[in-house]
C-alpha cells in the first residue's frame, strides 16, 4: 500500500514536471517570435544607467540639475551591469526580461499549488500562452521582472502566514517597491492583511485570558521584524531620492497623473477578462478563505492604481501584465467542486470553456506582430542612425521620442513630453520655454500621407510649429519617415536646425 502510494506520487510529480516544462517551452517559443519587439521607453532607463556608470550621475542630462524621469529604480540599477562589463545593454536586458518571464511561469505554478490541489498546471499554461506577456517580457522593460516579484512575494506571504514564520516576503516586497512605486501600495495592503490575520488568531487564542491592548501589542511584536525589513531600507532610499531630486514623487508622476484617466482602461480590462473574474467571484463567495481574500485584495487595489494613469501607452495589455496570471488562478477550483466532478457533461463543458478562454490571449495576434515588426524596422533604419548622427556634434536636441534617439545621441536633450524635464512637468508645456532654451535641433512629429504638409502628431508639435519664433530662429533641414502603420497614415520627423 505504501509502495503504491509513493509510486502514484512519483508519477504525479513526473506529469507535473512535464506539463511545466511544456509551458516553459511554449512561452520561450513566443518570446523568440516577438524577440524583435522594442519600445522607445526602455532606452530612457538605459540613458540613466549609462550616465550613472560613465559620469556618476543618476540623471537625464549630465551636469544639469537632477531630474527623475524614470519610475523603475531597481531595473535602472540592474541595467548598469552590462555597461560595467562592456556588454550590449539592450540585448542583455532583453535576455534578463526573458528569464524573469520564464521564472514567472514557475512562480505562478508554485502559487497555484499552494492555493489548490487540482489542475495546478492551468494558470502557468494560461500565462505561457499569453502572447502579450511574451511580448512585454522581451521589451527590455521591467514588466516581467515586476510580475515575477509580485507573484513570488505573494507566494511567500501566503506560505509564511500558513506556517507562522519567515521574512522572505518582506524582502521581496521591498524589491517590488524599488522596482515600481505600485509595490509600496501592495506592501501596505499586505501589511494590513497580515496584522489583521495575526490579530484574529491572537484574539481567538487569548480571548478569555488577555485584554484588547495586550493582543494588539502582541500582534505588533510578532510582525515588527517583518515590517522593519521593508521600512528601514525603503525609507533610506526614499529620503535619498527626495533629497537628490527635490520632489516627493518622480517627475513621471506629475506628467502622467490624469484624474480618472484610466477608468475606461479598467472597464475595458474587466470586460476582456470577465469570464475569469466571474468564476473567481463565484468561487470566492461560495468558499471564502483567508488566502483568496488576500489575493482578491491585491487584484482590486492593483486595478485602482490604473485609475489616474494616462492609458495612451497601455496598449497590448501593458499595464495589466503583472496581474494577468492571477486571472487564471480560480479555474482549478471549479474542477474541484463536487457538482463538477460528478457530472461528466458539466466537467466537459468547463474543460471546453477553459480551452476557449485561452483564446483571449490571441486577440489581435497577427496585427500586433506586424505592427511591432514595422516599428522595429523604423527604429533600425531611422531612430538609431538619427541619434548616432548627433553623437559627435555636442548638440542640444529638443524632441518628443526621448528614448532611442537621446540614448544614441549622447546629447543634452529637452524632453518635449516633459517626462525628463522638470520645468515642463511642473508648469505645463510652453513652446516659448523650449525655443528660448535655444536648442541646436528641434524635432517635430507629423502625421500625414504627404510629408510636405504639416499635420501634427501631437499637441506639443502643433504648439511649437504655430510659434513664430520657430520660423524666425530655425529652418527645416530634414523630413525623415518616423513610422508607417500597417494600415493608415505615415508619420514623419520634421528636423529643424538653428539658423545661428
222 and 350 inside one domain: yes
> How far is the C-alpha of 53 from the C-alpha of 36, rounded, in Å?
27
Residue 341 and residue 229 share a domain: yes
Q: Are 321 and 148 in contact (CB under 8 A)?
A: no
Q: Is the pLDDT of residue 360 over 70?
A: no
Residue 368's pLDDT band, with cuts at 50, 70 and 90, is confident
pLDDT per position as a tens digit, 419-432: 999 999 999 999 99
Any idea which of 70-79, 181-190, 348-357, 417-426 has the lowest mean pLDDT? 348-357
Domain shared by 123 and 269, yes or no: yes
* pLDDT bracket for residue 139 (50, 70, 90): very high
Residue 369 lies in a domain: no
- 189 strand-pairing partners: none
Is 11 a domain residue? Answer: no
CB of 444 closer than 8 Å to CB of 494: yes
pLDDT of residue 128: 93
24 pLDDT more than 90: yes
Last residue of a domain, one of 339, 363, 387: 363
Which pLDDT score is estimated for 232?
A: 97
Q: Give the phi and the psi of residue 216 in degrees, each rounded to 5.
A: -65, -45
Greatest mean pLDDT range, 84-88, 313-317, 342-346, 451-455? 84-88
Domain assignment of residue 4, yes or no: no
Confidence (pLDDT) at 451? 83
Half-sphere exposure of 497 (CA within 13 A, CB side): 8
Count of structural domains, the chain:
2
Which pLDDT does position 205 carry in this prediction? 63
Residues 258 and 392 in one domain: no
33 and 140 share a domain? Answer: yes
pLDDT, mean over the chain: 87
Confidence of residue 204 (pLDDT cuts 50, 70, 90): low
**Higher pLDDT residue, 370 or 235?**
235
pLDDT at 472: 95
Q: What is the pLDDT of residue 381?
A: 86
- Whether residues 223 and 331 share a domain: the answer is yes
The residue out of 363, 397, 425 marking a domain boundary is: 363
Buried b (16+ CB within 10 A) or exposed e, 458-477: eebbbbbbebeebeebbeee
* Residue 485 pLDDT > 70: no
Is the separation of the CB atoms in 456 and 469 below 8 Å? no
pLDDT of residue 4: 52
Distance CA 390, CA 447 (A): 24
More confident residue, 89 or 341: 89
- Taking only the tens place, the pLDDT of each residue in 402-420 is 899 999 999 999 999 999 9
Are residues 283 and 400 part of one domain?
no
Contacts of residues 401-405 at CB distance under 8 Å and 24 or more positions apart, as own/partner, are 401/40, 401/443, 401/445, 401/482, 402/40, 402/44, 402/69, 403/39, 403/40, 403/41, 403/42, 403/43, 403/44, 403/47, 404/38, 404/40, 404/43, 404/379, 405/443
pLDDT band at 486 (very low <50, low <70, confident <90, very high): very low
Which tens digit of pLDDT belongs to each residue from 314-329?
788 889 999 999 988 8
Judge if 286 and 379 occupy the same domain.
no
Same domain, 335 and 452: no
Q: Are 403 and 40 in contact (CB under 8 A)?
A: yes
Grade residue 257 by pLDDT with cuts at 50, 70 and 90: confident
Q: Which residues have CB under 8 Å from 203's CB, separation 6+?
A: 215
Q: Which domain holds residue 210?
A: 19-363
Find the range with the poorest average confidence among 2-11, 125-134, 283-292: 2-11
Q: What is the pLDDT of residue 354?
A: 67
Residue 467 in this model has a pLDDT that exceeds 80: yes
Mean pLDDT, residues 432-438:
96
Domain CATH code at residue 479: 3.40.190
Rounded CA-CA distance 297/322 in Å is 15
Q: Does the pLDDT of residue 38 top 60, yes or no?
A: yes
**139 shares its domain with 194:** yes
Amino acid at each position: 500500500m505504501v509502495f503504491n502510494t509513493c509510486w502514484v506520487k512519483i508519477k504525479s510529480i513526473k506529469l507535473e514536471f512535464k506539463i511545466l516544462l511544456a509551458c516553459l517551452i511554449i512561452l520561450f517559443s513566443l518570446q523568440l517570435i516577438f524577440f524583435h519587439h522594442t519600445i522607445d521607453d526602455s532606452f530612457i532607463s538605459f540613458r540613466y544607467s549609462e550616465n550613472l556608470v560613465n559620469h556618476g550621475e543618476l540623471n537625464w542630462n549630465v551636469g544639469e540639475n537632477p531630474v527623475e524621469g524614470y519610475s523603475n529604480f531597481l531595473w535602472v540599477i540592474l541595467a548598469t551591469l552590462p555597461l560595467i562589463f562592456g556588454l550590449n545593454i539592450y540585448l542583455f536586458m532583453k535576455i534578463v526580461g526573458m528569464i524573469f518571464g520564464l521564472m514567472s511561469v514557475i512562480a505562478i505554478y508554485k502559487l497555484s499549488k499552494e492555493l489548490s490541489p487540482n489542475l495546478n498546471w492551468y494558470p502557468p499554461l494560461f500565462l505561457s500562452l499569453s502572447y502579450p506577456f511574451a511580448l512585454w517580457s522581451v521589451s527590455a522593460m521591467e514588466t516581467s521582472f515586476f510580475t515575477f516579484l509580485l507573484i513570488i512575494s505573494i507566494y511567500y506571504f501566503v506560505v509564511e502566514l500558513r506556517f507562522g514564520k519567515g521574512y522572505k516576503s518582506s524582502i521581496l516586497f521591498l524589491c517590488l517597491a524599488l522596482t515600481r512605486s505600485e509595490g509600496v501600495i501592495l506592501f501596505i495592503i499586505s501589511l494590513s492583511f497580515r496584522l489583521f490575520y495575526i490579530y484574529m488568531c491572537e484574539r481567538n487564542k487569548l480571548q478569555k485570558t488577555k485584554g484588547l491592548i495586550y493582543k494588539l501589542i502582541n500582534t505588533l511584536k510578532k510582525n515588527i521584524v517583518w515590517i522593519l525589513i521593508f521600512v528601514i531600507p525603503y525609507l533610506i532610499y526614499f529620503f535619498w531620492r527626495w533629497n537628490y531630486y527635490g520632489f516627493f514623487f518622480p517627475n513621471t508622476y506629475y506628467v502622467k497623473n490624469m484624474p480618472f484617466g484610466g477608468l475606461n482602461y479598467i472597464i475595458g480590462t474587466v470586460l476582456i477578462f470577465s469570464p475569469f473574474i466571474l468564476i473567481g467571484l463565484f468561487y470566492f463567495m461560495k468558499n471564502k478563505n483567508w488566502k483568496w481574500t488576500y489575493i482578491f485584495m491585491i487584484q482590486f487595489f492593483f486595478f485602482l492604481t490604473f485609475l489616474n494613469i494616462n492609458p495612451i501607452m497601455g496598449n497590448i495589455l501593458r499595464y495589466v501584465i503583472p496581474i494577468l496570471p492571477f486571472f487564471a488562478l480560480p479555474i482549478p477550483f471549479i474542477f474541484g467542486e463536487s457538482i463538477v466532478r460528478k457530472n461528466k457533461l458539466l466537467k466537459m463543458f468547463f474543460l471546453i470553456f477553459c480551452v476557449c478562454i485561452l483564446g483571449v490571449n490571441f486577440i489581435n495576434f497577427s496585427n500586433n506582430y506586424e505592427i511591432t515588426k514595422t516599428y522595429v524596422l523604423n527604429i533600425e533604419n531611422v531612430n538609431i542612425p538619427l541619434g548616432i548622427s548627433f553623437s559627435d556634434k555636442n548638440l542640444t536636441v529638443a524632441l518628443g521620442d526621448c528614448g532611442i534617439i537621446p540614448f544614441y545621441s549622447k546629447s543634452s536633450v529637452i524632453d518635449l513630453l516633459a517626462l525628463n524635464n522638470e520645468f515642463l512637468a511642473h508648469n505645463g508645456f510652453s513652446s516659448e520655454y523650449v525655443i528660448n532654451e535655444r536648442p541646436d535641433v528641434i524635432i517635430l512629429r507629423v502625421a500625414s500621407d504627404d510629408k510636405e504638409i504639416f499635420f501634427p502628431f501631437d499637441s506639443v508639435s502643433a504648439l511649437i510649429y504655430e510659434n513664430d519664433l520657430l520660423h524666425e530662429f530655425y529652418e527645416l533641414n530634414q523630413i525623415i519617415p518616423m513610422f508607417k502603420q500597417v494600415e493608415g497614415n505615415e508619420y514623419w520627423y520634421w528636423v529643424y536646425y538653428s539658423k545661428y
